[in-house]
Chains A and B, each alone.
Chain A
Amino acid sequence: MTDRAAADRRIKLRSGNQMVAEGAVASGCRFFAGYPITPASGIYKGMIDLLQHHGDLAVSSPDEISALAYCVGASMRGYKSMTATSGPGWALMIETVQYALMTETPVVIALVQRLGPSTGGATQGAQGDVLLTEYCTSGGYTIPVFAPSAAAECFELTMHAFSWSEILRSPVILLLDKEVGMTTESVDYSALNMPRVVDRAGLRRTGGDKSDVRTYEFARRSDVPPFVAVGSDIKVTATGSAHNKSGELRKNDPETLEILHHLEEKVLARAGEMTVLGPDVESGAETLVVSFGITARAAREAVEIARRQGKKVSLVNAQTLFPVPAAGLTGAAAGTRRVVVAEENMHGQYRGVIRHLFGDRDVAGVNKIGSMITPSEILAAIG
């Protein structure tokens, strides 16, 4: 998003949660199942309002397990689907996220973080679910995770999430935090980037023998099998258990192991294309500041102050957290001696993930729980 002259702007006041809903509808999402939870309820409400006006389906579910299962079912039937939750609801969804991953079912989950553990603080912000989000699968499979820092980015990254969910046939997580989701701010619609919408490209065959279509057919491990909807005239054999390319239950079959590798490699092969970092690299910078979500905004302010003080600092707003944007991060760090990673959690969860990318550089963390990290706290770490 770039700033425009006042006369050219098209301003609405929108929360991050509302912009997730708008981004979902702009992506062609036609199904939402929701269960209320602060601070994510604004997405639920937004989808009820938008989808019901379109004649599309937004429905309440009796718990978060059902919410995601309804979405996965609807997606299997052929429709782009989304749900939204926060940490306690996410804990319940993890079983079904793994099912979506294993059955290669596209679905988008918006997770608006709040202070944990357990029910924690419903109206308190936090960025403590980074690892819980990414490492929720048995086997540690890579699930794309995108983290917006502002309402406009919520719109853009929701569209990004839907696109990649379709391309990969995979669950994709939008990782907001309470401050991004619930803060209402000016959004200049004329400056929004509208990513290309990837349609649900279903495998269709007219006439002929359809019995030879294998639900999980691919040639190379990184290929994505063409989607076939349950209810179409090509038989779907879907399963969350270990299976062959026909979707038949198999144990330690070479094809089964090939599929498990494929689930990971189809994502990693496209890591570069998925990367959104908004790098603001200053030539000759001594320090790189990496942040994401609400903290990236304090980081930007800190970097601007530091530059006014004559310091040479680069900034990365990691909108793609996973797959780890390794090339982008090492590129932004080139020539620096120090990396500062700012995030609103206790131990620096993302710092732990990316530290190895920076070799023998000093990698410092700015971490905090209970309230937003301030620009001055990041400024102090820049030194």
Chain B
Amino acid sequence: MEQIQSYMTEPCSIPFCRGCGHAHVLRKLNDALVRLQLEACKVCLVTDIGCIGLADSLFALPHTVHTTHGRSTAFATGIELADGVLADSGLKTIVLIGDGGAMIGLLHLVNAALLNADVTVILCNNYLFGMTGGQNSAFSPLDFITATTPKGNVIPPLDICRLMIDSNAGFVARKLATDQDLAATIADAIAFPGFSMVEVVELCTEFGSRRNQLSGTVLRSIVESHGQQLGVLRRDEVRKEFGRIYVEKFPPDGRKGGGKGEGFIGTKFTNRLTKKFGMVLAGSAGEKVQSSASTFCEAAALSGLFSTQKNDNPVTQGSGFSLAEVCLSPGRINYTGIDEPDVVIAVSREGSRELAGRGVFGRCHLETAVICDSDVEIPETRGSIIRLPLRKTFTPARAALGALFIALARLEVFPGVALTETIGIRDANLASTLTGKVSALLDT
């Protein structure tokens, strides 16, 4: 295969100010690509906003994706996650981002490092926002004079390399734009299998150099005066890249998903419903109220009925009340609300209080069966109250299921045996224990 001499548009019309470090860094990036001789279509440059975001037009051969401010690493991560798991993992994605973008998109850098996505971030840190007039950034050195820190910056700069190392990045380097081996370090970062970041420290000639009377020769002392280190600060090739871990962990298991599949509920029993039936069931969190309602709906389906089930609980899922509203109908159910319930079940005091708070007892009709535990207080209602030792007989965790058997015995919406059978699919012992207890309770 023919050697690629340059990945850039040659001759290249550099859009940056005279002396700008960006031009130098991009030349070194090109040198790194030439050194690696990557197939051009297997390289994707993802650029951020700001002066460095003008790099796209300079690279004639690789794919280029110019993104939004700070988000470049996130888009690159998406490209790489898909490439590593769904494609052949052959793509090298390189982010070009400034110090402004790195701060607004800090979380994206952290997460790319945590994931160990095969993304290389080249962070061109010129200590300020150049394109918008030289405002200070989170990377500005102390005492740095910018348009927005006219008396000098008082906020110490972020040490991004330390943060990346703490985020478990495999390859982290801080280099000066003037370093002779910059291209070699960038090449090493790109070749690294996993997340890599190279922070390149440079100067904005328009807003950084003049105001602070600096030249490239003092960059090293600025870096070191903030206790920051230079060079390759971390190189750990033991950790596998995300795509490799994922492919190993989640091979296709041949199980079908999507529109068709297993698990249909056939019609085995008949039902007596001619119109919509509404039931509200309430108890306490952790006492299987909502899962009992689900089992009830499955049993209804086994009896040829359509159902809807709406659950509710406080925002904290493990405490307070737990409630389910169930509608059954021989045909499709439109409105899922229950204005006048046919059955109300309260298996705990918390549940009853919630039902009362919603005015459920007040909305009962004369035929409504209000099934409640013996210890539960029920406010005034037109429904007929059936008070039973549900918690004592069935245990608190099975009180809801027990109450549903009682409801079926009372209203004969569909046969209780449908519920027994549905429970028995998962737990035959539970099904027989429950039916035994229900019979005993009904006999008394």
| A contacts, CB < 8 Å to B | 1, 3, 6-7, 9-13, 22-23, 25-26, 30-31, 33, 38, 49-50, 52-57, 59, 61-63, 65-66, 69-79, 81, 95-96, 99, 103, 122-123, 155, 179, 182-186, 189, 192, 194, 230-241, 247-249, 294, 297-298, 300-301, 304, 372, 374-376
Contacts and interface: CB of A to CB of B under 8 A. Distances in A.
B210 interface: no
Interface string B330-344: 011111110100000
Nearest to A155: B259
B78 A71 contact: yes
B21 to A, nearest CB: 21
A40 B64 CA distance: 34
B66 A69 contact: no
A300 B64 contact: no
Contact of A7 (B115, B267, B310): B267
Contacts of B71: 65, 69, 95-96, 99
A240 B267 contact: no
B61 interface: yes
A10 B42 CA distance: 47
Given A185-B307, A185-B309, A300-B334, A238 B294 contact: no
A374 B57 CA distance: 58
A69 B41 contact: no
B118 interface: no
A9 B267 contact: yes
Contacts of B308: 183-186
B337 A239 contact: no
9 contacts: A13-B294, A49-B257, A50-B257, A70-B77, A74-B81, A81-B82, A179-B336, A239-B56, A240-B67
B63 A78 contact: no
Contacts of B61: 235
Contact of A374 (B87, B246, B306, B335): B335
Contacts of A77: 78-79, 82-83, 86-87, 91
Given A13-B301, A231-B63, 5 more contacts: A99-B67, A186-B301, A231-B83, A232-B41, A374-B339
Interface in B56-107: 56-57, 61-68, 71, 74-83, 85-87, 90-91, 107
A70 B311 contact: no
Q: Which of B40, B81, B309, B331 has the most CB of A within 10 A?
A: B81
A53 B250 CA distance: 7
A294 B82 contact: no
Interface of B: 40-42, 44, 54, 56-57, 61-68, 71, 74-83, 85-87, 90-91, 107-108, 110-111, 115, 246-247, 250-253, 255, 257-260, 263-267, 294, 297-298, 301, 304-313, 315, 331-337, 339
B75 A76 contact: yes
Nearest to A46: B257
B75 A69 contact: yes
A50 B85 CA distance: 15
Given A13-B301, A57-B246, A66-B111, A73 B76 contact: yes
Contacts of B339: 374, 376
Contacts of B107: 62-63, 65-66
A57 B117 CA distance: 13
Contact of A79 (B80, B86, B252): B86
Contacts of B297: 13, 184, 186
Contacts of B267: 6-7, 9, 11
B62 A235 contact: yes
Contact of B42 (A81, A231, A240, A248): A231
Contact of A230 (B44, B68, B81, B304): B44
Contacts of A59: 81, 115
B108 A66 contact: yes
A374 B337 CA distance: 8
A298 B335 contact: yes
Contact of A69 (B74, B260, B265, B304): B74
Contacts of B252: 53-55
Nearest to A95: B68
Given A13-B265, A65-B71, A66-B108, A56 B78 contact: no
A23 B78 contact: no
